[in-house]
Amino acid sequence: MYNPPGMNAPVRKHIELMHGYTPGEQPTDVAVIKLNTNENPYPPSPRVLSAIGNITAEQLRRYPSPDARDFRRAAAAVHHVEPEMIMPTNGGDELLALVVRACAGENDRVAYLDPGYSLYPVLANMQAAKPIPVDYEISSQEWRVPKNLGDIDAAVLLIVNPNAPSGTLIDLATLEDIARRFSGLLLIDEAYVDFAPISAISLVARFPRLVLLRSMSKGYGLAGMRFGYGIAQAPLIAELYKIRDSYPCDVIAIAAATAAISDQAYAKAVWQKVIEQRQWMTGQLTALGFGVPESHSNFVLAQVPAGMDAALWYEQLKARRILVRYFNLPRLTDKLRITIGTPQQNEIFIQTMAELKTGMTPPD
Amino acid sequence: MYNPPGMNAPVRKHIELMHGYTPGEQPTDVAVIKLNTNENPYPPSPRVLSAIGNITAEQLRRYPSPDARDFRRAAAAVHHVEPEMIMPTNGGDELLALVVRACAGENDRVAYLDPGYSLYPVLANMQAAKPIPVDYEISSQEWRVPKNLGDIDAAVLLIVNPNAPSGTLIDLATLEDIARRFSGLLLIDEAYVDFAPISAISLVARFPRLVLLRSMSKGYGLAGMRFGYGIAQAPLIAELYKIRDSYPCDVIAIAAATAAISDQAYAKAVWQKVIEQRQWMTGQLTALGFGVPESHSNFVLAQVPAGMDAALWYEQLKARRILVRYFNLPRLTDKLRITIGTPQQNEIFIQTMAELKTGMTPPD
């Protein structure tokens, strides 16, 4: 970041000193096999393009529905909750930022499991709050939550489940225990839950300080549209509404997201295909000597075979126009996060990995 | 807002106590003549619908350009600045919120001219900062800025120019004097500048703590799309980037806004039509006995004739399916803000006002 001495920036000191979040690479080269930012390999429901095609100039000219009414109703019907329990946002990231701002002031503690979504500490830093990472207990095949996590003293606790970047899942009994014990606001980030066997949605009715995050980016193939939403009890949603923008979702995004969530049959068929490919990828990577904990998401985290260099794998894949995600972060430097692609992309990826391994393994 | 005693909300106390911003009514009844939220009466350039029609499912599936690259380049070309001086946001409101968060912490002072855009004090309250209204000096036909406004002690000074809700304009020499004196961050909100004869853009190169706000909602007929942008020196833009979401603008919004700003000939023709209608409306309202300061925006602020009740005018217009904006705020309770509509809408409006006046005036 540009920060010359003596610039006398009018921004607050903690912002001048902080680093922003670095999103994954978004190459413009469409020939790249892009397995780095957890997009769905399949396009959204055909109903989405049809809804977009029906937008009129008159709709563009007028302000959209401030509360994305059509989407709230459609999501409420899918989840069997009231529309007042749904909070549409400009991507799930906006909900995360809102929750942290609502609950954490200067020096307040923002806790999260680590490794997790690397945006969380950045959101805490934006508020001059204290990022409190809580270490996952990582063994070769398992990521475990420390006992009594819910007793932690913090204004906010952020848990992405299934976890990113590991894809591992915290079971419902553990989540319920955390929700019962924790005294601040608990956000369970279910951005990837469409690929998992369980959700914490049954807990919302019982815990007034719980917010679930959902995203249309992964499960519904709409990363380009920026649409997410929160699910929580109505009084908490009403508090969050006070600090959001007046019209966070545009008229086309509302139409697209409503069309997508209303086509559950299409979405479920896509999730099933991704899950099958995830199982195939896990088996192939394991056979190649990688350590892959069981993922319940649309990506896997693969630990490179002992003595090999994950950053080198990343670079060599990139040279062959395959992008995966490498995190230069504690306990992740020996791993690669690989998004599940189409069957064809996955085959090319595994084939390339096998070739690279041959090249990197010294002959016996 | 729902706020039962003993709810034990996990949100910060100042948020629990505050009220959110109330946007203008967005009726679903399309037969209503809607002159209440300052939309452009004309649709966007035909190039916009064409750009939207060209969006592919593949673009929806992938994350958009994090910095809305195409738009940055197009806006930079229009304004003769570098792309690094342009900051695209999810509506102008997002830029306002970013600037206040970047510069104002708890108990910091956020100053603004009053009456002005009624969102400003709400943004200060979100931060537990202190809203510092500075009174406009209002005479029958003029709204004047107090002398030495730039000397005010504040972290941020927000000035909407042309002003909302009056439409009046602060001249460039006064703005330059403010920018030279003011020690915090100065934001000049030019959401309505496309309908005005001057802009402060020539000041950006000289003042490193100045941000201009522009909007695609009014001048370009894209209120439904949520697209605004900031113009400032690159180091300041880089600071603001640190605290924004990773992908604030979606792929369709970027395409639509890029198409709109690239069609300057269409936009300028629209602005000219609105300006002509504004002059006609000002003359008609003045003839009906209203006090109307000279507007340089796409609305006028009309003070009702002495002894009459602005709230009653608002209600009676609404009963006839014409929506205007009434603000129950100090020094605005005797005024109505009326958006300039199409010539046909404006004629119906003036005709209705004349009829209502006859009904409300006691016979001599």
Residues B241 and B303 in one domain: no
Q: CB distance B20–A241 less than 8 Å?
A: yes
The answer, yes or no, to whether the previous bond of A10 is cis (omega within 30 of 0) is: no
Residues A204 and A310 in one domain: no
What's residue A2's pLDDT? 36
Chain A residue nearest residue B251, CA to CA:
A224
Q: CB distance B10–A103 less than 8 Å?
A: yes
Kindly list the residues from chain B whose CB atom is less than 8 angstroms away from the CB atom of residue A227: 250
Does residue A314 fall inside a structural domain? yes
Distance to chain B for A307, nearest Cα, Å:
34
Q: Is the pTM of this model over 0.90?
A: yes
Q: CB distance B60–A225 less than 8 Å?
A: yes
Distance separating alpha carbons of residues A337 and A163, to the nearest angstrom: 12
**Kind and range of the H or E element at B144?**
strand B143-144
Q: CB distance B12–A225 less than 8 Å?
A: no
Is the pLDDT assigned to residue A190 strictly greater than 70? yes
Q: CB distance B63–A223 less than 8 Å?
A: yes
Residues A299 and A186 in one domain: no
What's residue B363's pLDDT? 57
**Three-class SS of chain A:** CCCCCCCCCCCCHHHHHCCCCCCCCCCCCCCCEECCCCCCCCCCCHHHHHHHHCCCHHHHHCCCCCCCHHHHHHHHHHHCCCHHHEEEECCHHHHHHHHHHHHCCCCCEEEEEECCCCHHHHHHHHCCCEEEEEECEECCCCEECCCCHHHCCCCEEEEECCCCCCCCCCCHHHHHHHHHHCCCEEEEECCCHHHCCCCCHHHHCCCCCEEEEEECCCCCCCHHHCCEEEECCHHHHHHHHHCCCCCCCCHHHHHHHHHHHHCHHHHHHHHHHHHHHHHHHHHHHHHCCCECCCCCCCEEEEECCCCCCHHHHHHHHHHCCEECECCCCCCCCCEEEEECCCHHHHHHHHHHHHHHHHHHCCCC
Q: Is residue A25 packed enough to be buried (19+ CB in 10 Å), middle (13-18) or exposed (0-12)?
A: middle
This complex has an ipTM of 0.95
Who among B106, B224, B242 is closest to A105 (CB)?
A: B106
Sorting pLDDT into bands at 50, 70 and 90, what band is A1?
very low
Does residue B171 fall inside a structural domain? yes
Distance to chain B for A18, nearest Cα, Å:
8
Q: What is the CA radius of gyration of chain B?
A: 21
Q: CB distance A252–B225 less than 8 Å?
A: yes
Which CATH number characterizes residue A205's domain?
3.40.640.10
Does residue B336 fall inside a structural domain? yes
Residue with tokens 């200060």: B124
Who among B18, B52, B253 is closest to A242 (CB)?
A: B18
What is chain A's mean pLDDT, rounded?
Answer: 94
Kindly list the residues from chain A whose CB atom is less than 8 angstroms away from the CB atom of residue B58: 30, 43
Q: CB distance A246–B62 less than 8 Å?
A: no
Residues B280 and B239 in one domain: no
Residues A117 and A19 in one domain: no
Planar angle of CA A24, B246, A21, nearest 5 degrees: 70
Backbone angles phi, psi at B92, to 5 degrees: -60, -30
Is the pLDDT assigned to residue A8 strictly greater than 90? no
Residues B18 and B124 in one domain: no
Residues A185 and A290 in one domain: no
Which of B205, B229, B263 is the endpoint of a domain? Answer: B263
The CA-to-CA distance between both ends of chain B, in Å, stands at: 47
Residue with tokens 């003293």: A153
Q: CB distance A1–B209 less than 8 Å?
A: no
CA B187 to chain centre: 13
Distance separating alpha carbons of residues A203 and A141, to the nearest angstrom: 28
Does residue B124 fall inside a structural domain? yes
Q: Is residue B168 packed enough to be buried (19+ CB in 10 Å), middle (13-18) or exposed (0-12)?
A: buried
Kindly list the residues from chain B whose CB atom is less than 8 angstroms away from the CB atom of residue A23: 63, 66, 246-247
Which CATH number characterizes residue B296's domain?
3.90.1150.10
Q: CB distance B102–A65 less than 8 Å?
A: no
Alpha-carbon distance values, B179 to B110, B115, B201 (Å): 16, 20, 12
Who among A63, A64, A235 is closest to B7 (CB)?
A: A235
Residues 6+ apart with CB under 8 A from B350: B281, B284, B285, B288
Kindly list the residues from chain B whose CB atom is less than 8 angstroms away from the CB atom of residue A11: 102-103, 185, 236, 239-240
Top residue of B60, B126, B152, B185 to mutate, by most chain A CBs within 10 Å, is B60
Distance separating alpha carbons of residues A168 and A218, to the nearest angstrom: 16
Does residue A7 fall inside a structural domain? no
Q: What is the pLDDT of residues B24-54, one digit of tens each?
A: 788 878 789 999 999 999 999 999 999 999 9
Who among B37, B60, B253 is closest to A222 (CB)?
A: B60
What's residue A3's pLDDT? 39
Alpha-carbon distance values, B97 to A103, A238, A246, A289, B127 (Å): 17, 19, 11, 49, 10
Is the pLDDT assigned to residue A184 strictly greater than 60? yes
Mean pLDDT by 10 residues, chain B (364 residues): 48 93 81 94 98 97 95 98 98 98 97 96 97 94 93 98 97 98 98 98 98 98 98 97 95 98 98 98 97 97 93 96 94 96 98 92 61
What's residue B165's pLDDT? 96
Q: CB distance B242–A94 less than 8 Å?
A: no
Q: Single out the residue of B245, B246, B56, B61 nearest to residue A219, CA to CA.
A: B61
Distance separating alpha carbons of residues A62 and A67, to the nearest angstrom: 14
Q: CB distance A43–B61 less than 8 Å?
A: yes
Which of A222, A239, A263 is the endpoint of a domain? Answer: A263
Kindly list the residues from chain B whose CB atom is less than 8 angstroms away from the CB atom of residue A224: 59-64, 250-252
Distance to chain B for A221, nearest Cα, Å:
5
Kindly list the residues from chain B whose CB atom is less than 8 angstroms away from the CB atom of residue A241: 1, 20
Q: What is the pLDDT of residues A12-46, one digit of tens each?
A: 999 999 999 988 788 878 789 999 999 999 999 99
Residues A231 and A244 in one domain: yes
Does residue A4 fall inside a structural domain? no
The DSSP symbol for B265 reads: H
Q: CB distance A239–B1 less than 8 Å?
A: yes
Residues B302 and B163 in one domain: no
Distance separating alpha carbons of residues B319 and B324, to the nearest angstrom: 11
Distance to chain A for B274, nearest Cα, Å:
14
Sorting pLDDT into bands at 50, 70 and 90, what band is A111?
very high
Q: Single out the residue of A197, A181, A165 nearest to residue A302, CA to CA.
A: A165
Kindly list the residues from chain B whose CB atom is less than 8 angstroms away from the CB atom of residue A53: 53
Distance separating alpha carbons of residues B281 and B338, to the nearest angstrom: 9
The helix/strand/coil state of B148 is: coil
Does residue A5 fall inside a structural domain? no
What is the mean pLDDT of the segment spanning A106-120?
96
Q: CB distance B39–A63 less than 8 Å?
A: yes
Query: Largest Cα–Cα distance of chain A, in whole Å?
Result: 70
Interchain CB contacts (distance < 8 Å): A and B:
269
Who among B2, B12, B43 is closest to A103 (CB)?
A: B12
Residues 6+ apart with CB under 8 A from B306: none
Residues A248 and A313 in one domain: no
What's residue B120's pLDDT? 97
Q: CB distance A15–B243 less than 8 Å?
A: yes
Kindly list the residues from chain B whose CB atom is less than 8 angstroms away from the CB atom of residue A62: 26, 34, 39, 223-224
Share of chain B above pLDDT 70, in %: 96
Q: CB distance A15–B57 less than 8 Å?
A: no
Query: Largest Cα–Cα distance of chain B, in whole Å?
Result: 71
Kindly list the residues from chain B whose CB atom is less than 8 angstroms away from the CB atom of residue A129: none
Who among A106, A185, A224 is closest to B64 (CB)?
A: A224
Distance to chain B for A43, nearest Cα, Å:
6
Does residue B193 fall inside a structural domain? yes
Who among A9, A241, A245 is closest to B94 (CB)?
A: A245
The answer, yes or no, to whether the previous bond of A330 is cis (omega within 30 of 0) is: no
Kindly list the residues from chain B whose CB atom is less than 8 angstroms away from the CB atom of residue A234: 2
Residues B132 and B174 in one domain: yes
Residue ranges making up the domain that contains B244 = 46-263
Who among A58, A91, A185 is closest to B247 (CB)?
A: A91
Kindly list the residues from chain A whose CB atom is less than 8 angstroms away from the CB atom of residue B3: 235, 238-239
Kindly list the residues from chain A whose CB atom is less than 8 angstroms away from the CB atom of residue B252: 52, 224-225, 250, 252-253, 256
What is the tally of structural domains in chain B?
A: 2
Distance separating alpha carbons of residues A303 and B234, to the nearest angstrom: 40
Distance separating alpha carbons of residues A183 and A156, to the nearest angstrom: 9
Residues A181 and A213 in one domain: yes
Distance separating alpha carbons of residues A14 and A19, to the nearest angstrom: 10
Q: CB distance B93–A246 less than 8 Å?
A: yes
Who among A18, A24, A90 is closest to B242 (CB)?
A: A18
The DSSP symbol for B317 reads: H
Which of A204, A235, A263 is the endpoint of a domain? Answer: A263
